[in-house]
Amino acid sequence: MNSFSHVTGTDGGRHVRDLTGRVAVVTGASSGIGAATARRLAAGGAAVALVGRREDRLTALADQLRHTSPGDVLPVAADLAHPDAADTAARAITSALGPVDLVVANAGAMLGAPFETARTDEWDRMIDVNLRGLLRTARAFTDDLLAAAAQGRPADLVHVGSVAGHSLYPNWSVYCATKSAVAHLTRNLRAELGPRGVRVRNIEPGVTETELGSDMHNADMRTTLERMRTGLHPLTAEDIAEAIAFSVSAPAHVNVAELVVVPVQQG
């Protein structure tokens, strides 16, 4: 058995990796990849803080996880587009759960339109959430991550990017630009924090069936996105959650630095 195979059992046919004793934060946890990741980490025994805008969904998920998972679960309502939201959330989380050693910065917005007709408020939303929100999330927990690493424990900062960060998708230019920024930010933070023991990584999903993009103003782009997802066998949110769980359960000296996860048919 290799060192990546330490599991505590199975859940719906998937391995449950042992994360007992870890304190995790998952942003964008009210749906999709965030909710699935929170379930996967909680199933592994981690205490999990659920961060998102929709308090009712977070509360419902927390109630569900408290009945099925061994670790503590804390819902924290926050819109990470607001400048102070990440720091405020971090104070509430560390007060309730203790120092954090696993951060999954997943909150995001995907809003497509032809460049010349796109709404600039949608551009602002993507920049505020996909980039500024991710930056502030990482900054809010970096001291905790460095402290965990200094104690010889695993310390993980996981960014959920996209294959759009290095592929060409007409009419998604600004979304692609934000995800490209995430990819290069991750590489540079890996060089900065890695020597001090913090594992920084970028998980890049391909076509995935989630709510992402459902709030786009442009109806034609909503139709395009739906066709993209029905034109092949897309990933599920649980597929990405499993990839994240795999990466954070690696031995402390191993970093799965960049992980591209795509449907087979996407190539």
Residues with catalytic roles:
175
Distance separating alpha carbons of residues 67 and 39, to the nearest angstrom:
12
Check if the beta carbon of residue 25 is closer than 8 Å to that of residue 37: no
Which candidate, 88, 49, 56, places its Cα nearest to that of 72? 49
177: phi then psi, degrees, rounded to nearest 5 = -65, -40
Distance separating alpha carbons of residues 66 and 99, to the nearest angstrom:
20
In angstroms, how far is CA 83 from the centroid of its own chain?
Answer: 19
Which candidate, 247, 99, 235, places its Cα nearest to that of 186? 247
Q: For the packed helices 55-68 and 32-43, what is the interaxial angle rounded to 10 degrees? A: 20
